[in-house]
């Protein structure tokens, strides 16, 4: 799958199954592995955060730049980043809109495999083959158990994300941030 994130002109819309991008709210009985080459920013990083395992090429970059446009991540990034990364690193990404490179992501435990450029997909397939060599009932039960640990946090996270989205949607700064992005100029924030 390829994901460039959200088209800021079109916005984000949920699919009938799985939420935005079709996978971020879908319960799975088999692990979903992200193979990342290049930038995974905004919605692209939120797709990565919805995966069970991450293989990152040395060219990968991860970030949530929404705040730079007076937006917030609405596809799970607000509550999944602090679970996938040390809390203060997640705060850094969420509050600055900056990104981290693959080496730092690997050191922090976001990626379980750091691949050479161009090898992330092959390494992800290799990881999938290792998982598939195990008992399918045990893999499925492990996935069910791991999902049950996250279930209360996920439900609360989605509720809080919707509340933040409502505030952001009506803010003057949001319109200014998006206009500034398209006009390729620095935003003039009003705090409203």
66, 92, 129, 165: the catalytic one is 66
- 160 included as an active-site residue: no
46, 61, 172, 176: the catalytic one is 46
Token code pair at residue 165: 């989205």
- 46 included as an active-site residue: yes
- Residue positions annotated with a catalytic role: 46, 66
């Amino acid at each position: 799958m390829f994901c460039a994130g959200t088209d800021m002109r079109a916005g984000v819309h949920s699919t009938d199954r799985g939420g935005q991008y079709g996978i971020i709210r879908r319960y799975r009985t088999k692990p979903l592995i992200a193979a990342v080459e290049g930038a995974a920013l905004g919605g692209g990083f939120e797709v990565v955060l919805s995966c069970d395992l991450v293989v990152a090429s040395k060219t990968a970059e991860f970030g949530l730049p929404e705040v730079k446009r007076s937006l917030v991540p609405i596809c799970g990034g607000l509550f999944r980043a602090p679970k996938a990364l040390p809390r203060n690193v997640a705060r850094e990404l969420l509050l600055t809109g900056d990104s981290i490179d693959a080496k730092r992501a690997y050191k922090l435990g976001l990626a379980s495999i750091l691949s050479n450029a161009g090898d992330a997909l092959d390494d992800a397939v290799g990881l999938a083959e290792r998982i598939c060599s195990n008992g399918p009932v045990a893999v499925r039960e492990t996935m069910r158990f791991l999902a049950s640990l996250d279930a209360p946090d996920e439900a609360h996270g989605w509720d809080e994300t919707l509340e933040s989205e409502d505030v952001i949607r009506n803010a003057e700064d949001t319109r200014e941030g998006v206009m500034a992005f398209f006009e390729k100029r620095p935003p003039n924030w009003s705090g409203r």
